[in-house]
Homo-oligomer: A and B are copies of this chain.
């Protein structure tokens, strides 16, 4: 049951295939009678003629006001000195946790059929500090920054998420045998939070061993929480286990309850505008957004229709080995609703 007043959510269709897959999401959400009104803004590599900027104030303000949004792929503007728009959004909106549920899709065969885990990545610091310099000619250094505040915050989120989703174990991924101070602080914070959740099993796994175990037996893992770069690496590795970034949802959590869900794959300029793109990652990200809004009925219904359509195998886009158009695939999902 939900209130009858619709919720306003920001939508950034993004670049390349973004507009097409966003169209597919809008159509399916409409068909499922999701009580959401989209507030659409363009953020991408084309410069706003009024402001000469890639990212307008209104776009950011829209997410801040609505507290919930969905974004398609954004290319990084070409040329020196441009920062990735994804990183800019993370920074501007203080999106401190990136959450990626990753599960084997029934009927879509990969080498693994037993993946069911969630990666939770610290999204604001670590190796992404941007602090780098040349010490002398031929010697450069980068700073990795770990803070107690950001580590506690993401650890809190991970345990909260595990509990809310009925998950049993949280694994903190680290390399504290080498980076005793930075990763050591991260682990210390995880341990502190773990003590408040005695019902959740807590363990610590060194990143190299974690990657080996993930490819040998991903069923060993449940919720993984980790510093920024390890999260970048491991979340993509996990996506690979179940078929790639075209199939995995992602949601960024910010201070004050902001949730910006996103498809993390690229903007695929080669197939843009050709009605060939696979909207699955954006759709399942939309589902993550609905869960964040506690619209679980709608989330379940859409997720089920997407998974059934893929499992049935009659309509699949080219990246999944089929030959359907985006609109045929979208219509098939609507039929499964």
Residues of A within 8 A of B (CB): 76, 84, 110-112, 127-128, 132-135, 137-149, 175, 177-182, 184-185, 207-209, 211-216, 229, 232-237, 239-241, 243-245
Contacts and interface: CB of A to CB of B under 8 A. Distances in A.
A138 B143 CA distance: 16
What is the interface of chain A mostly: helix, strand, loop, or mixed?
Answer: mixed
B141 A144 contact: yes
A140 B211 contact: no
Given A233-B207, A237-B212, A142 B144 contact: yes
A212 B234 CA distance: 9
Of A138, A180, A211, A214, most B-chain CB atoms within 10 Å = A211
16 contacts: A111-B112, A127-B144, A132-B182, A133-B181, A138-B185, A140-B181, A140-B185, A142-B179, A208-B232, A208-B233, A208-B236, A211-B236, A212-B245, A215-B237, A215-B240, A237-B237
Nearest to A212: B240
A235 to B, nearest CB: 8
Nearest to A181: B132
Given A207-B233, A236-B209, A182 B140 contact: yes
Q: How many copies does the complex hold?
A: 2
A187 B97 CA distance: 30
Contacts of A184: 140
Contacts of A214: 237, 240
B133 A140 contact: no
Contacts of A234: 211
Given A229-B175, A233-B207, A181 B134 contact: yes
Nearest to A143: B141
Contacts of A140: 145-147, 181-182, 184-185
Contact of A236 (B134, B139, B181, B212): B212
Closest 4 CB pairs of A and B: A138-B148, A212-B240, A215-B240, A132-B181
Contacts of A241: 215
A106 to B, nearest CB: 18
A132 B211 contact: no
A142 B237 contact: no
Contacts of A137: 148
Contacts of A144: 127, 141-144
